[in-house]
A and B are shown apart, each in its own frame.
Chain A
Amino acid sequence: MKLSESAGSETTGSSQNGVVASDTVLATFDLDVRYGAVVALEGVSVHVGKGEMVALIGPNGAGKSTLLNTLSGIKRPAGGRIVLNGKLAHVPEGRQVFPELTVEDNLRLGAYRGGSRDPGPMYELFPQLQRLRYRPAGGLSGGEQQMVAICRALMANPDVLTVDELSQGLAPLVVSDIARHLVELNRQNGTAVLLVEQNAQLALNITSRAYVLENGRIGMEGRSSDLISDPAVRAAYLGGVR
């Protein structure tokens, strides 16, 4: 399956463009996004390889969520190009479950675009959802809702999963448990992950590469293990963290 989205005047698909490596599942080229006159993203180029885990860190308001919303098609870019080789599913900020619907219905709706509606594999991934399957998702704890949100996105059988603020409002133990599952999923199924995270320490620990987004531009990029020891990154995003 090959999907190509274009914005601005360019309409070139990935197949016609040598810039996109064959093992790339998701890439943007000079992406510009605006809200009215306000520039949210400017010249943003990122890429995620097949089966790769990539972090996107940066301060509040840098445009991280905007980038993910643009990738998932909610927000239209003003310029630049997005190339998607496969399917993308988005886990939105604040989890955004369907509170009145049961856990199982939440999961089944994740397959709305097609594919199997059987939530069985999700219960294998997060066994604790199995006994909650007939409960309204709105009554679940924050961590459980995050699992529902992740599984609902996985029901679309994506090649790349974009996750917006995995840790937001969750207890550290819950976060590390969910993060471990995400890594496991990535290793076993080869699902690529683009993780937006306020908690830079966590994000850099579980990913192999990372981008730092500042004021709508990519400020730094590199291997997560390099960035985690980079003095500038440490000062700006890991301050106070050992």
Chain B
Amino acid sequence: MTAFVEYLLTGVSRGLVFALLAMGFVFIYRVTRVVNFAQGAFAVFGGFITYSLLRAGMPQGISELLAVIAVALIGLVFGIITIVGEIPLLASLVITIGLSILSEAIGMLIWGTTPITYSGLAGHDFVIFGAFIQRQYLIIGIASLAVFVGLVYVFGRTYFGKAMSACASNPYAATLSGINVKRMGFIAFMLGGALGGLAGVLITPLSPITYNADVSLAITGFAAAIVGGLASPGLAVVGGLVFGIVEQFVAGYWSPSNETAVALALLVVLLLWQSRWVRLGGLE
């Protein structure tokens, strides 16, 4: 029972981080139709930048906030490089692969090849049903839930959110209504950067990151996003939770070395299953 609770809670918590990454994929895809392969790099930059700011003596909360803002700006720059002008969609996809490789090179040059980590916000770990839960898991839960609520509000209630959804829904009609779809694409990349950056900031205290951690993060995030056909932020959260929980149970009851293999197998099964009822919007 104790182990079960521990695996479940850590699984939910890591799942929320995957959900943040997955939503980054979704928001960028919905507005620009680009699958952003550099999404994992946002998380890596988030962890690295927080690490450096902490080393420079900045307070924890400020460092983490600044790191998220910095990665949002990186996202904006990546977005401009990826979709500016009349770049064909396929070329944009390849550009994001290039940006992901470039990010690894930059990460290696600045932060080296040894894994880096930092401790999360100070405070005691706590015990639920006899299971020791690190405080960072609770922080992840609070931070990601706050983000989800914020996004639900922005997209469900605000005029700006509706305009962004309109770009995803029908770019041609959005343009006719005077919405600058290209600029919305840039904003989507910025949002994807912020979400990916936050994921990295939150996960680094639990699993040390290296310059090339972006690929596995991107794969898990993509797998979670594909649950909703890359189009639904809500289903991306569900996907993230499924992957997080399965990963922890596999690692706990079976072997940690199998967790990636199981995640990928699950991805294949999900793809086969959902290809029967969800079409990738716009890619038919």
Contacts and interface: CB of A to CB of B under 8 A. Distances in A.
Contacts of B173: 92, 96-98, 152
B166 interface: yes
B165 A100 contact: yes
B29 to A, nearest CB: 15
Given A105-B162, A109-B162, A109-B163, A99 B169 contact: yes
Given A108-B159, A117-B159, A101 B166 contact: yes
A3 to B, nearest CB: 13
B114 interface: no
A99 B169 CA distance: 7
B165 A74 contact: no
Contacts of A25: none
Interface stretch (B37-45, B117-125, B176-184): B176-184
Interface size class for chain A?
Answer: 20 to 34
Contacts, number: 52
B175 interface: yes
Nearest to A89: B176
Contacts of A112: 163, 177-179
Contact of B162 (A96, A97, A101): A101
Contacts of B170: 96-99
A72 B169 CA distance: 20
B172 interface: yes
A101 B163 contact: no
A109 B175 contact: no
A80 interface: no
A90 to B, nearest CB: 5
Nearest to B173: A96
Interface string A89-123: 11010001111110001001110110001000000
Interface string B230-271: 000000000000000000000000000000000000000000
A27 interface: no
A228 interface: no
Given A96-B170, A99-B170, A117-B159, A109 B177 contact: yes
A156 interface: yes
Contacts of B177: 109-110, 112-113, 152, 156
Given A96-B170, A100-B165, A101-B169, A74 B159 contact: no
A98 B178 contact: no
A156 B169 contact: no
A96 B172 contact: yes
B176 A98 contact: no
A98 B172 contact: no
A152 B179 CA distance: 13
Interface string B142-184: 0000000000000000010011011001101111111100000
Contact of A72 (B163, B174, B176, B179): B176
Nearest to A105: B162
B246 to A, nearest CB: 30
Interface in A59-109: 72, 74, 89-90, 92, 96-101, 105, 108-109
B283 to A, nearest CB: 17
29 contacts: A72-B176, A74-B172, A74-B175, A74-B176, A89-B176, A92-B173, A92-B176, A96-B170, A96-B172, A97-B173, A98-B165, A98-B170, A99-B169, A99-B170, A100-B169, A101-B162, A101-B165, A101-B166, A108-B162, A109-B162, A109-B166, A109-B177, A112-B163, A112-B177, A113-B178, A152-B173, A152-B177, A156-B177, A156-B178
Interface of B: 159, 162-163, 165-166, 169-170, 172-179
